[in-house]
Structure 1
Amino acid sequence: MGKSEGLSDGVVRKIILSYTYVSVWIFLSFTVIVYNKYILDHKLYNWPFPISLTMIHMAFCSSLAFAAVRLFKIVDPVALTRRVYLTSVVPIGALYALSLWLSNSAYIYLSVSFIQMLKALMPVAVYSIGILFKKDAYKNNTMLNMLAISVGVAVAAFGEAKYDSWGVLLQLGAVLFEATRLVMIQILLTSKGINLNPITSLYYVAPSCLAFLSVPWLIVEYPKLRQRSGFHFDFAIFGTNSLCAFALNLAVFLLVGKTSALTMNVAGVVKDWLLIAFSWSVIKDTVTPLNLFGYGLAFLGVAYYNHSKLQALKAKEAQKKAPPADDEAQKLLNEREEDGMGKKGDAQA
């Protein structure tokens, strides 16, 4: 009785911790998205410089990661050769820079709710790029699922009250580069047995990302910033915004490390609905019935995709636990041969 009670307490504790990780991640992701929108939107804080904002984030994250690895030695660095860094980390940093730049730029042109609807295309992009790079196998059922998600997003876009083609193009570009980055992490790092936690990931990737962002910043935003008079860097606004972005990276590690990437996908769907509701009720963005209908279709497609991944994961785990079929057959054959030899010996006796 005592054991069952202890087990029950352990399960309850595990459930509470899982929900805590999910809640913290949703809160921080929600906060960073709304905070970035507040800073970049011309109707709110009115600082429409997405490259500069992203560079502030990367500089802040690089500094904290460097302090954690080199000064306080909280985390041990990963042994990376110059060749691995240049051929693996640098391309991922470039893709990360493009993804962050375009996604932050989209907040200037699109509502928070509509951006979340467009982000539903992420599984479509990841699966398509995975097939292109031969990391995923083509399956008719999965492709139909991806098509259903795409149709739902298209319907939501058709019903958008404040549709902006340039904003949509920016967000779709961000989805494409982010999906490519995720696939390239599997190809360039995971396949080589290199696993980076959020601190070491920021330690290696953030400086590369910062360097790539500096090129368009010098061309696009630096001249505008020089002409902008009366601006004083607000350490409270940009400091807390950067701190939230850094904390979000840690929350991602906790959520995926303590639960699973699938849990993060499911939590992401909950976060999207919350952001849509917040965008409509607080920010007063227009959300049309056709928006909701289209996103509902996409949501069902994403939910089915997550369910399929869960079933595949369970099947894989069951296969690992079960003895191989060839071993079972060989064992049965050996037993029959032993029985046969015993009967033959009895006959000869």
Structure 2
Amino acid sequence: MGKGGSLTEGVLRKILLSYAYVGIWIFLSFTVIVFNKYILDRKLYGWPYPISLTLIHMSFCSALAFVLINVLRLVEPVSMSRDLFLNSVVPIGALYSLSLWLSNSAYIYLSVSFIQMLKALMPVAVYSIGVALKKDAFHMKTMLNMLSISLGVAIAAYGEAKFDAWGVMLQLGALVFEATRLVMIQILLTSKGINLNPITSLYYVAPCCFVFLLIPWFFVELPILRENSSFHLDFWVFGSNAFCAFGLNLAVFLLVGKTSALTMNVAGVVKDWLLIAFSWSVIKDTVTPVNLFGYGLAFLGVGYYNHLKLQALKAKEAQKKAAPEGNDEEAGRLLEEREPEATGEKRVSQA
């Protein structure tokens, strides 16, 4: 083929690879969510200990990240001072542990479909916290969009057949902590030029999560586990569950690294609809017409939010290309600072 044909093949290969990354991420994210629900739901596997499950994930991910970085040396470690670790990574690890704990706890009380509907509020939480911490500017147009998403989720909650107030509080709390974590990553790490991929992020953050989770685990779940002496940890169930959680982080790295965080956000909407369909058809969760109407309204709001993000990223990319050579680094940093805000996805024990 000529030069034009080679170019066409290269573009086609890139498109196919992008779809492959999206497919792998959706599959692993889907698997982790359903797997966690299976383990934690009292009517399924019947092991309702979310802190313990998250501790298993954190210990497994910490150990595997350590091996990949220090033994196999497949990933280069990030140079980090003690002060930066204590002032930046530790607070982010604390927020992450709370987010994972509460989100996994919600699986005990809520259906998979309804949890995915509640997760549509992530852009609302990220934007609101960003404005409160002066990381984002307030725009009435954006706020109206956030209100439309909130209205849609409220309608979906009103139509939920098995509404559980405690479960909703747990999931909303998880969203608030995760949104705060995403904003803090921008403030504490990205603004200082520290960019962690999922492996190095787990290497530093997962041990912090493990330590923070030990405190509530010691008082809340350890006494119950001691009384339940008949239970034996199934290596294949929990090992494969932790491995899937780690694989999800690798998929995130591939998807965001090879495409963009916005692509992952858009793919997340597709994954949510698939999970709702799976929850209704296979798990036999009740999904009402009011549920679907409310989530459909929220979906339109999230879609418009993603459209605005895409326009903003295009504008910044154009600014980067038009900037003088000396300002390329600064323009690139501006673009990178916007990407964590677009993700809105949990990484390890949830998706």
- Normalising by the residue count of structure 2, what TM-score does the alignment of the two structures yield? 0.91
Shift of 1:319: 2.8
Q: Is 2:197 the counterpart of 1:179?
A: no
The alpha-carbon distance between structure 1 residues 261 and 221, as it changes in their structure 2 partners (threshold 3 A), is same
Q: Is 2:111 the counterpart of 1:111?
A: yes
What is the distance in 2 between the residues matched to 1:163 and 1:282? 20
Shift of 1:323: 6.2
Match of 1:339 in 2: none
The alpha-carbon distance between structure 1 residues 323 and 52, as it changes in their structure 2 partners (threshold 3 A), is closer
Match of 1:345 in 2: none
| 1:297-334 Cα shifts (integer Å, max 9, x gaps) | 0000000000111111112222333468xxxxxxxxxx
Q: After the TM superposition, which residues 1-349 of structure 1 pair with which residues of structure 2 at under 5 Å, given as runs?
A: 2-322=2-322
What is the distance in 2 between the residues matched to 1:65 and 1:73? 10
What is the distance in 2 between the residues matched to 1:254 and 1:87? 28
Rg: which structure is higher? 1
Match of 1:337 in 2: none
| 1:123-151 Cα shifts (integer Å, max 9, x gaps) | 00000011111111100100000000000
What is the distance in 2 between the residues matched to 1:189 and 1:319? 23
Q: Which moved more, 1:128-137 or 1:48-57?
A: 128-137
What is the distance in 2 between the residues matched to 1:320 and 1:83? 32
- The code of the aligned residue for 2:66 comes to F
Shift of 1:42: 0.3
What is the distance in 2 between the residues matched to 1:75 and 1:309? 30
What is the distance in 2 between the residues matched to 1:321 and 1:62? 39
Shift of 1:240: 0.2
Aligned length: 324
What is the distance in 1 between the residues matched to 2:251 and 2:50? 23
Q: Which moved more, 1:310-319 or 1:108-117?
A: 310-319
What is the distance in 1 between the residues matched to 2:75 and 2:321? 34
Q: What is the aligned-residue RMSD (CA, Å)?
A: 1.0
Shift of 1:229: 3.0
- The code of the aligned residue for 2:311 comes to Q
- The code of the aligned residue for 2:77 comes to P
- The code of the aligned residue for 2:177 comes to F
Q: Equivalent residue of 2:137, what SS? A: coil
Shift of 1:68: 1.1
Shift of 1:115: 0.1
What is the distance in 2 between the residues matched to 1:237 and 1:97? 22
| 1:273-307 Cα shifts (integer Å, max 9, x gaps) | 00000000000000000000000000000000001
Which ranges of structure 1 fall in alignment gaps of 5 or more residues? 325-349
What is the distance in 2 between the residues matched to 1:89 and 1:49? 26
Shift of 1:270: 0.2
- The code of the aligned residue for 1:62 comes to S
The alpha-carbon distance between structure 1 residues 323 and 59, as it changes in their structure 2 partners (threshold 3 A), is closer
Q: Which runs of 4+ in 1 moved over 6 A?
A: none
- The code of the aligned residue for 2:287 comes to V
Q: Which moved more, 1:192-201 or 1:169-178?
A: 192-201
What is the distance in 1 between the residues matched to 2:240 and 2:226? 24
Which ranges of structure 2 fall in alignment gaps of 5 or more residues? 325-351
Shift of 1:91: 0.4
- The code of the aligned residue for 2:247 comes to A
What is the distance in 2 between the residues matched to 1:69 and 1:250? 14
- Normalising by the residue count of structure 1, what TM-score does the alignment of the two structures yield? 0.91
- The code of the aligned residue for 2:4 comes to S
| 1:143-196 Cα shifts (integer Å, max 9, x gaps) | 000000000000000000000000000000000000000000011110111111
What is the distance in 2 between the residues matched to 1:319 and 1:188? 25
Shift of 1:213: 0.2
What is the distance in 1 between the residues matched to 2:32 and 2:217? 22
What is the distance in 1 between the residues matched to 2:42 and 2:185? 35
What is the distance in 2 between the residues matched to 1:228 and 1:80? 42
Match of 2:332 in 1: none
What is the distance in 2 between the residues matched to 1:79 and 1:19? 33
